[in-house]
């Protein structure tokens, strides 16, 4: 079998099995590095086949090289997951309410009783108005007299208790006022008439009095249990 000079895979010998080589073939095989024409032809045919195979391998290597190169992936914003909820916004703190001004029942002027000297209720409201101005603090007395004037115009002469209750809401109760009435209700039954039927109402009545009148009312309450009579006589 004759081998190509470039050590390529062996080519089939052109000498039949059991035959002899011609002198020319022998010379060619013995001293020359060139392969016979038939061998070169076969070799070139083989190289063509091998060349195609090499090109395919080269192409495969290029693909592998391309695959081995890192791919640049552009990050895309992910869509919000359905059902996700935003964190609830914390509401701003509500503004703090301004502190209420301290209670003050010392201002005001003495009420005018002129209109109560006439009208349907003049016989009752007239004299009462004079007493209120003398006994009660101006702010409290004015609220009561204004209520009496409105009811006198409507001939509601039975509204004295209603008007007294409205005026007493303007009084500023202090701890000593509360203590006076607590002692009174501890030893006496609660009155059934007038706007002083509880400790709180009694304390407002005591707080509504002028200083000199308050002393007289407290002495009256210490001596008896007639709360209404003590208050009504306070201005006399």
Instruction: Output the CA torsion 105→106→112→117 (10° steps).
Output: 60
> Distances in Å between the alpha carbon of 168 and those of 24, 82, 129, 218?
151, 65, 15, 17
Helix residue ranges, H only, the chain: 23-31, 37-68, 122-135, 138-153, 160-168, 175-187, 199-207, 211-223, 227-232
Contacts of 43 (CB under 8 A, 6+ apart): 4, 8, 11, 35
- Owner of token pair 């000593």: 176
Cα R_g (the chain), whole angstroms: 63
Q: How many residues would you count in the chain?
A: 236
Please give the pLDDT value at position 138. Answer: 93
Please give the pLDDT value at position 48. Answer: 45
**CA–CA dist 180, 185 (Å, integer):** 9
Q: Give the Cβ contact number of residue 47 at 10 Å.
A: 15
- Residues in a beta bridge with 136: 209
Q: CB of 151 within 8 A of CB of 163?
A: yes
Please give the pLDDT value at position 89. Answer: 65
Q: Hey, is 82 helix, strand or coil?
A: coil
Q: What is the pLDDT along the chain (236 residues), one digit of tens a residue?
A: 444 444 444 444 444 444 444 444 444 444 444 444 444 444 444 444 444 445 545 444 554 444 455 545 555 555 555 555 555 666 666 666 677 788 888 788 888 999 999 999 999 999 999 889 899 999 999 999 999 999 999 999 999 989 999 999 999 999 999 999 999 999 998 888 777 889 999 999 999 999 999 999 999 999 888 888 888 776 65
Task: Please tell me whether the overall predicted TM-score, pTM, comes out greater than 0.75 for this model.
Answer: no
Please state the domain extents for the chain: 1-52, 108-170, 172-236
First-last CA distance in the chain: 159
């Amino acid at each position: 079998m004759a081998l190509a000079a470039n050590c390529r895979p062996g080519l089939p010998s052109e000498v039949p099995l059991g035959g002899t080589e011609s002198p020319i073939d022998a010379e060619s095989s013995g001293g020359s590095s060139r392969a016979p024409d038939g061998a070169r032809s076969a070799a070139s045919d083989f190289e063509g086949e091998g060349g195609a195979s090499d090109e395919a391998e080269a192409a495969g290597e290029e693909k592998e090289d391309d695959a081995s190169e890192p791919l640049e992936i552009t990050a895309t914003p992910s869509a919000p997951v359905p059902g996700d909820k935003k964190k609830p916004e914390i509401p701003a703190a509500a503004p703090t309410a301004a502190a209420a001004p301290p209670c003050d029942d010392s201002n005001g002027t003495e009420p005018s009783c002129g209109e109560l000297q006439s009208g349907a209720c003049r016989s009752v409201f007239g004299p009462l108005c004079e007493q209120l101005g003398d006994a009660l603090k101006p702010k409290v007395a004015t609220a009561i007299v204004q209520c009496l004037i409105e009811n006198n115009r409507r001939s509601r002469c039975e509204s004295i208790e209603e008007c007294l209750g409205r005026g007493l809401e303007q009084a500023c109760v202090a701890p000593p006022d509360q203590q006076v009435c607590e002692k009174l209700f501890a030893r006496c039954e609660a009155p059934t008439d007038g706007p002083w039927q509880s400790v709180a109402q009694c304390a407002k009545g005591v707080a509504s009095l002028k200083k000199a009148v308050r002393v007289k009312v407290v002495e009256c309450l210490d001596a008896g249990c007639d709360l209404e009579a003590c208050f009504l006589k306070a201005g006399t």
